Amino acid sequence: MGKSTGFMEYERKPAPERDPASRIKDWKDYKLPMAEEEVQKQGARCMDCGVPTCQSGMELNGATTGCPVYHLIPEWNDLVYRGQWKEALMREHEMNNFPEFTGFACPAPCEGACVLGINEPPVAIRQVERSIIEKGFEEGWVLPEPPAVRTGKQIAVVGSGPAGLAAAAQLNKAGHLVTVFEKSDRPGGLLTYGIPEMKLPYYIVERRINLLKEEGIEFVLNTEVGKDYPVSSLRSEFDAVILCGGAAVHRNIEAEGRDLKGIHYAMEYLHANTKSLLDSELQDGKAISAEGKNVIVIGGGDTATDCLATALRHNCKSLIQFDIYNQKQPSRDSAENPWPQYPVIHRVEYGQEENAAVFGKDPRAFAVMTKKFTGDENGHIKEVHTINVELKIDENGNRTREELPGTEKIWPADLVLLAIGFSGPEQQLIQEMGIETSGKTTVKAEHGDFRTNLKGVFAAGDMRRGQSLIVWAINEGRGAARECDKYLMGASELP
Chain CA centroid to CA 290, Å: 24
Amino acid 80: pLDDT: 97
456 class by beta-carbon count within 10 Å (0-12 exposed, 13-18 middle, 19+ buried): middle
Q: Is 38 helix (H, G, I), strand (E, B) or coil?
A: helix
Beta strands at 263-265 and 249-250: parallel, antiparallel or unpaired: unpaired
Mapping DSSP onto H, E and C, the string for 328-358 reads: CCCCCCCCCCCCCCCCCCCCCCHHHHHHHHH
Task: Enumerate the CATH 1.10.1060.10 domain ranges in the chain, comma separated.
Answer: 6-138
Q: Domain spanning 6-138 has what CATH number?
A: 1.10.1060.10
Closest to 483 (Cα-Cα) out of 462, 452, 443, 438? 452
Cβ–Cβ under 8 Å, residues 87 and 77 = no
CA separation for the pair 147, 134 (Å, rounded): 24
CATH of domain 154-248+423-489: 3.50.50.60
387 phi/psi in degrees, rounded to 5: -145, 145
Residue 329 CB neighbour total at 10 angstroms: 13
**The dihedral of CA 473, 86, 41, 19: what is its sign?**
negative
CA–CA separation, 419 vs 307, rounded Å?
A: 8
The confidence score (pLDDT) of residue 394 equals 85
Strands 409-412 and 381-393 turn out to be antiparallel
Start-to-end CA distance of the chain, whole Å, equals: 26
Residue 409 CB coordination number (10 Å): 12
Q: What is the pLDDT of residue 211?
A: 98
Cβ neighbours of 379 (radius 10 Å): 12
Burial of 97-112, coded b for 16+ CB within 10 Å and e otherwise, reads bbbbbbbbbbbbbbbb
CA 369 to chain centre: 25
Query: Comparing C-alpha atoms, which of 303, 116, 272, 283 is closest to residue 200?
Result: 303
Query: Which residues of the chain are modeled with pLDDT < 70?
Result: 1-2
Q: 401-407: long-range contacts at Cβ-Cβ below 8 A with a sequence spacing of 24 or more? A: 401/324, 401/369, 403/369
Q: How far is residue 297's CA from residue 253's CA, in Å, rounded to a whole number?
A: 13
- Homologous superfamily of 252-420: FAD/NAD(P)-binding domain (3.50.50.60)
Neighbours of 147 (CB within 10 A): 15
Closest C-alpha to 433, from 450, 458, 467, 468 = 458
Q: Please tell me the predicted confidence (pLDDT) of residue 2.
A: 67
- What does the pLDDT look like over 87-121, one tens digit per residue? 999 999 999 999 999 999 999 999 999 999 999 99
Nearest one of 238, 210, 213, 216 to 154, comparing CA atoms: 238
CATH 3.50.50.60 maps onto the chain at 154-248+423-489, 252-420
Does residue 153 come out as left (phi exceeding 0), alpha (psi in the -120 to 50 range) or beta?
Answer: beta
Look at residue 439 in the predicted model and tell me its pLDDT. Answer: 81
What's the pLDDT at 440?
75
161 with 188: CB under 8 angstroms?
yes
Alpha-carbon gap, residue 227 to 254, rounded angstroms: 30
Answer yes or no: are the C-beta atoms of 388 and 349 closer than 8 Å: no
pTM over 0.85: yes
